[in-house]
């Protein structure tokens, strides 16, 4: 039996009807609807001969034993944000089901093939994303913080997990799942506008951006809007405004896909009759190259000091969060690029702005690659998220061809 990509689209539509409503997908991790989605996945894998296992972190595994214990893993996540899109996460899983079916029907594979649905990629309920994959990758090091997280109803994370059979203290035991992992493949919607703007359906992901998140706090002097001449002012907003514009120059100068975002400015006292005394400015900078990222941050900090001096105000810098760039495997990138060209004629290599479970797996030292399929209007995390059905079908074909090449490589 051949691969049937149209079946994947039908499966996704069925899942949408089952677990979504008029506001979008509702497959939030650690909820009943999420369990429904996991039951649905179980029913779809049924008949392939793959064995199910839920590990200590709540990840749902399906294993098709091969001649070798070394494993090719295809992974995604069934969980969504509230009022989310119908494809984010589950496209990967449902396409993986189709690839698993095709491989199973061809008989025992040369190496073991596994499909995983990671638990709580989105972190929508407790604000901590990549839960299951970070446990399996061994990078989960914030157990104490996780213990203190509560949802909006005041329910603690450990309590919620327990209801779904997961003991937080034992979650890191999921590390054993990756012991025999030889390669990891993940198909995902792009969640950005690049492929659509190039008018091509598919691209191969080079890695996930390193991220530097900063807070710049500008401090000037509140002063009456009427009685303070322009040359006597110490306006905190002026510093924030200069930096909000200068970050474009940073991105342009560093190049290589660099992005800088000033996602918010909070001004105090924030009234019409006063010069701004304090402005808190958030800055998010991303690059695929660690040195370039470090340079971007240094440029922002130097500029901030310069602007503060120009404006006779003060500026304080604080790192909120950072993560290093994670580069995917060159061999697998080559395979994915070939598979995309074979299926759709044109490929494009691009970085991933958002993080994904694949980044955790890659950090654990397992050769990893991701494929992106075009998102319409770049939208995600909304019910408006969409991808053309013909592109979805192409993406299933690409995942299948990528799996075939990878299996041959591992054999």
CB of 32 to a second copy, least distance (A): 28
Chain centroid, CA 213 distance in Å: 16
In this complex, which beta carbon is closest to a second copy, that of residue 283 or of residue 398? 283
How many angstroms separate the CA atoms of 121 and 370, rounded? Answer: 16
CB of 269 to a second copy, least distance (A): 8
Q: What are phi and psi of 216, to 5 degrees?
A: -100, 125
CB of 258 to a second copy, least distance (A): 8
| Bridge partners for 323 per DSSP | 211
CB of 392 to a second copy, least distance (A): 19
In eight-state DSSP terms, residue 159 is H
In this complex, which beta carbon is closest to a second copy, that of residue 112 or of residue 352? 352
In this complex, which beta carbon is closest to a second copy, that of residue 36 or of residue 322? 322
Q: How far is CA 331 from CA 204, 345, 410, in A?
A: 12, 20, 11
CB of 62 to a second copy, least distance (A): 29
CB of 233 to a second copy, least distance (A): 8
How many angstroms separate the CA atoms of 200 and 254, rounded? Answer: 26
Token digits for 62? 């399906």
In this complex, which beta carbon is closest to a second copy, that of residue 2 or of residue 272? 272
For the chain, what is the radius of gyration of the CA atoms? 23
64's enclosing H/E stretch is strand 60-64
How many angstroms separate the CA atoms of 402 and 140, rounded? Answer: 29
In this complex, which beta carbon is closest to a second copy, that of residue 66 or of residue 351? 351
Q: What secondary structure, in 3-state letters, does 79-106 show? A: CCCCCECCCCCHHHHHHHHHHHHHHHHC
Binding site residues, a second copy, CB under 8 A: 190-194, 197, 209, 211, 213, 223-230, 232, 237-238, 240-242, 244-245, 248, 251-252, 257-267, 269-276, 282-284, 286, 320, 352-355, 378, 380
CB 374, CB 196: distance < 8 Å:
yes
CB of 187 to a second copy, least distance (A): 16
CB of 18 to a second copy, least distance (A): 27
User: What does the DSSP assignment read for 1-63?
Assistant: ----HHHHHHHHHHHHHHHEETTEE---TTSHHHHHHHHHHHHHHTTS-PEEEE-TTS-EEEE
In this complex, which beta carbon is closest to a second copy, that of residue 41 or of residue 276? 276
């Amino acid at each position: 039996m051949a691969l049937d990509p149209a079946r994947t689209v039908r499966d996704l539509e069925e899942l949408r009807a089952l677990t979504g409503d008029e506001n979008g997908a509702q497959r939030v991790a650690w909820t009943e609807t999420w369990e429904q989605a996991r039951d649905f996945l179980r029913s779809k894998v049924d008949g392939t001969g793959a064995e199910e296992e839920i590990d200590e972190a709540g990840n749902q595994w399906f294993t098709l034993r091969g001649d070798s214990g070394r494993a090719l893993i295809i992974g995604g996540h069934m969980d969504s944000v509230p009022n989310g899109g119908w494809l984010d996460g589950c496209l990967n899983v449902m396409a993986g089901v189709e690839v698993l079916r095709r491989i199973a029907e061809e008989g025992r594979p040369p190496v073991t093939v596994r499909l995983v649905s990671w638990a709580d990629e989105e972190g929508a309920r407790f604000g901590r994303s990549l839960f299951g994959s970070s446990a399996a990758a061994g990078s989960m090091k914030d157990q104490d913080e996780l213990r203190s997280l509560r949802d909006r109803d005041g329910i603690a994370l450990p309590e919620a997990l327990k209801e779904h059979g997961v003991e937080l203290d034992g979650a890191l035991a999921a590390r054993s799942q990756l012991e025999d992992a030889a390669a990891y493949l993940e198909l995902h919607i792009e969640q950005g506008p690049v492929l659509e703007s190039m008018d091509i359906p598919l691209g191969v992901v080079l890695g996930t951006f390193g991220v530097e998140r900063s807070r710049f706090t500008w401090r000037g002097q509140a002063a009456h809007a009427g009685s303070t001449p322009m040359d006597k002012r110490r306006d905190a907003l002026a510093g924030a405004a200069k930096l909000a514009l200068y970050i474009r120059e940073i991105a342009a100068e560093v190049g290589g896909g660099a992005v800088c975002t000033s996602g918010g400015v909070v001004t105090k006292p924030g009234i019409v009759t006063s010069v701004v005394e304090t402005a808190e400015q958030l800055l998010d900078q991303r690059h695929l190259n660690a040195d370039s990222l470090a340079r971007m941050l240094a440029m922002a900090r130097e500029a901030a000091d310069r602007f503060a001096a120009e404006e006779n105000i003060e500026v304080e810098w604080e790192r909120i969060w950072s993560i290093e760039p994670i580069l995917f495997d060159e061999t697998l990138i080559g395979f994915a690029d070939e598979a995309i060209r074979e299926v759709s004629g044109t490929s494009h290599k691009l970085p991933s702005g958002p993080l994904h479970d694949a980044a955790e797996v890659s950090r654990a030292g397992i050769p990893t690659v991701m494929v992106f399929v075009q998102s319409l209007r770049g939208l995600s995390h909304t019910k408006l998220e969409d991808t053309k059905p013909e592109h979805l079908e192409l993406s299933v074909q690409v995942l299948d061809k990528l799996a075939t090449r990878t299996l041959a490589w591992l054999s």
